A and B are shown apart, each in its own frame.
Chain A
Amino acid sequence: MAQHSNKLAKIQAVTANRLLDGHVVYFTAEGQWSDWVDDVVLADGKEEADALLAKALPSVETRHIVDPYLFEVDQEDGKMVPKSVREKIRMAGPTIRLDLGKQAAVRS
């Protein structure tokens, strides 16, 4: 199966898909949802991660997002880099269509 949450993970963040267009979004420190992975708020260890996911869950009720879950992140040069290939692809877009997905949009 796909690489969703991993119990041994150290640093994690929460991602989901937006209800209206299905696009990938990330949970921020302000409790908002951003299109950009660099905006994620990090959780260190299982307890923090569970608490973070619990904080994100009400957005399902408010119809902002669907299917929130935790994923593992590394920080490289101040950039957030998801560990798994799956999350790297979600963050950017299809690797075979660089003109599509987030990779195609320049962050304003």
Chain B
Amino acid sequence: MYRYDQFDHKLVTERVNQFRGQVSRRMSGEMTEDEFKPLRLMNGVYLQLHAYMLRVAVPYGTLSSVQMHKLADIATKYDKGYGHFTTRQNLQYNWPALEDLPKILDELAEVEMHAIQTSGNCIRNVTADQYAGAAADEIDDPRIWSEIIRQWSTFHPEFTFLPRKFKFAVTGCSNDRAAIRVHDIGIELVRGKDGDVAFDIHVGGGQGRTPMIAKLIGEAISREDLLAYLEATLRVYNMSGRRDHLYKSRIKILVHDIGAEEMKRLVEEEFALVKKQGVLQLPQEEVDRIRAYFAAPDFETLDAECPELDAAMASNKRFAAWVNTNTAQHKQAGYTIANISLKPIGGVAGDASDAQMHVVADVAEKYSFSEIRVTHEQNLVLAHVKKSDLLALWETLEANGMGTPNLGLITDQIVCPGLDYCALANARSIPIGQEITERFADLDRQHNIGELKLKISGCINACGHHHVGHIGILGVDKKGTEYYQVTLGGSADEITSVGKIVGRAFTEHEIVDAIETIVEVYLDLRESPDERFLDAYRRVGIAPFKEKLYADN
């Protein structure tokens, strides 16, 4: 795993001390709320409905067992015994007191964690494919490149005060598991002409009020040019923002307004300048230095086949279902990637109790080289588990409410905090998600429905990715009452699409039935069980769903 170098240590320590001073000046009255608010936001502290919220960064979603234990301890000591894993691969605490925040940040720093780059108009925590370093289909480990981007961008003088926040995502292969096309810059690792790793740079994606799909601007950019190309892209954005205030918003608006061609031209122009200066050339030695942090663990030489596993699957239906849905192919024979679902039926998507966090830390230590990943779909991953250990792992998870075999199914939802916590919300998200999981609790039914990504946001900020849900649900407010608008056909993978609104919004009491109707329409019209919801939708369009949903009006 990546270890802090001295420079990082100093930075984080200084930052915590600075924040301690700011909190104490705020409490003593030397600082007003208006002065304090931007400072607390820079340190990941929000004010929600019931309390403060602290957002802890998990760079490219990788955590060690020691870090996970620490997150659990903080939840016990300073919060209410749980944390919330988010789509930004962060962890949020919902109840910390202001005066405890510096202490929490101190404790985080002990395990090389922090809350920097989790809010504010800066380059945010870089997110990456959760199967990094393990996936059979990856070209290279995306974390290496995420880390290089993180080092280059953190506290970069030009990028501390961007017009708006800025999000990067990196995926290691053409199967996009990091939703790169809905990020400000999404990077896909590809093979360059010489067979080396190169980078496709997608620019201008995003969700929120105006969802946009990123455009491919840079194709197969070489290793040594990567940072120069990114710098050029950010400069174009930054300068356009400053020049006329017109683009004082997200890069997606800029790309949309001037078009991909013009954006490409501007970036290439700037790129030529940055390149001439030469300082941003990324040397192979630097890449090697970072790569060493992500060196593959000491895999054993094993057979690809594992008769014990086959036998266990044959005798335990639920375990077999879990292996089928929640594991993915590993590049190393005899190993597999195990997904830990944080979506139990009736549970709060992404929430984990302190006890569960300790359990995950322990099983990671025992079965997966002490390493844990957080996914943007609000689940956890143990990336390197021996097939022969899967049963023991699953039994522990199952005993602790984390063995649900539902990855990628209708009950594996992305759900934002919504009006139960969030000060910006229009409507609640979590209880709608819970009711849907209860309606579809039957595993055979879920498996029969197959892959179906349902995503819920409590307002148009789209933290719950509803725009790119196969089924998306958006909470809206009509005169103090909650309503839910449904979109269909969104997707955040290699063929990204933004969902279409199906019709008038539903009440809290209608929404779950409406979802069930949509699913029934799909089951009726699919050509075969292999035709996924999204494929069927793309074939038939929105009309059949609309007809059935609004048949009575």
Contacts and interface: CB of A to CB of B under 8 A. Distances in A.
Interface stretch (B240-248, B325-333, B426-434): B426-434
A90 B50 contact: yes
B98 A20 contact: yes
Interface stretch (A37-45, A46-54, A93-101): A93-101
A84 B50 CA distance: 16
Interface string A61-76: 0110011000000000
A37 to B, nearest CB: 13
B364 to A, nearest CB: 27
B33 A66 contact: yes
A22 B52 contact: yes
A83 B428 contact: no
Contact of B424 (A2, A17, A63): A2
B27 A21 contact: no
B51 A23 contact: yes
B29 interface: yes
Given A2-B425, A63-B27, A95 B47 contact: no
A85 B481 contact: yes
Contact of B420 (A2, A63, A84, A95): A95
A21 B52 CA distance: 7
A3 B477 contact: yes
Contact of B49 (A24, A63, A66): A24
Contact of A20 (B80, B97, B348, B425): B97
Interface in B387-439: 419-421, 423-428, 430-431, 434
Interface residues of B, number: 33
A1 B426 CA distance: 6
A96 B434 contact: yes
B33 A94 contact: no
B510 interface: no
Contacts of A22: 47-48, 50-52, 97-98
A94 B351 CA distance: 14
Interface in B466-495: 477, 480-482
Interface in A75-96: 83-86, 89-90, 93-96
Given A19-B27, A86-B419, A95 B428 contact: yes
A84 B51 CA distance: 19
Contacts of B95: 100
A93 B421 CA distance: 8
Nearest to A101: B50
A2 B426 contact: yes
A66 B419 contact: no
Contact of A90 (B33, B49, B428, B434): B49
Contacts of B430: 94, 96
Given A24-B50, A63-B29, A96-B434, A19 B98 contact: yes
A29 to B, nearest CB: 24
A97 B417 CA distance: 12
A103 to B, nearest CB: 10
Interface in A8-32: 17, 19-24
A54 to B, nearest CB: 17
A97 B95 CA distance: 13
Contacts of A86: 49, 419, 425, 480
A66 B431 contact: no
A14 to B, nearest CB: 16
B308 interface: no
B426 A20 contact: no
A17 B33 CA distance: 12
A84 B480 contact: yes
A98 to B, nearest CB: 11
Given A3-B480, A94-B421, A89 B33 contact: no
Contacts of B480: 3, 83-86
Nearest to B477: A3
A94 B429 CA distance: 11
B482 A85 contact: yes
Contacts of B419: 85-86, 89
Contacts of A67: 33, 47
B33 A93 contact: no
Nearest to A62: B29
B99 interface: yes
Contacts of A100: 50, 80, 95
A101 B27 CA distance: 23
A96 B420 CA distance: 7
A78 B530 CA distance: 59
Given A17-B51, A24-B50, A66-B47, 5 more contacts: A2-B477, A21-B97, A23-B50, A67-B33, A94-B430
13 contacts: A2-B424, A2-B477, A20-B98, A21-B52, A21-B97, A22-B97, A63-B27, A63-B29, A66-B47, A67-B47, A86-B419, A86-B425, A96-B434
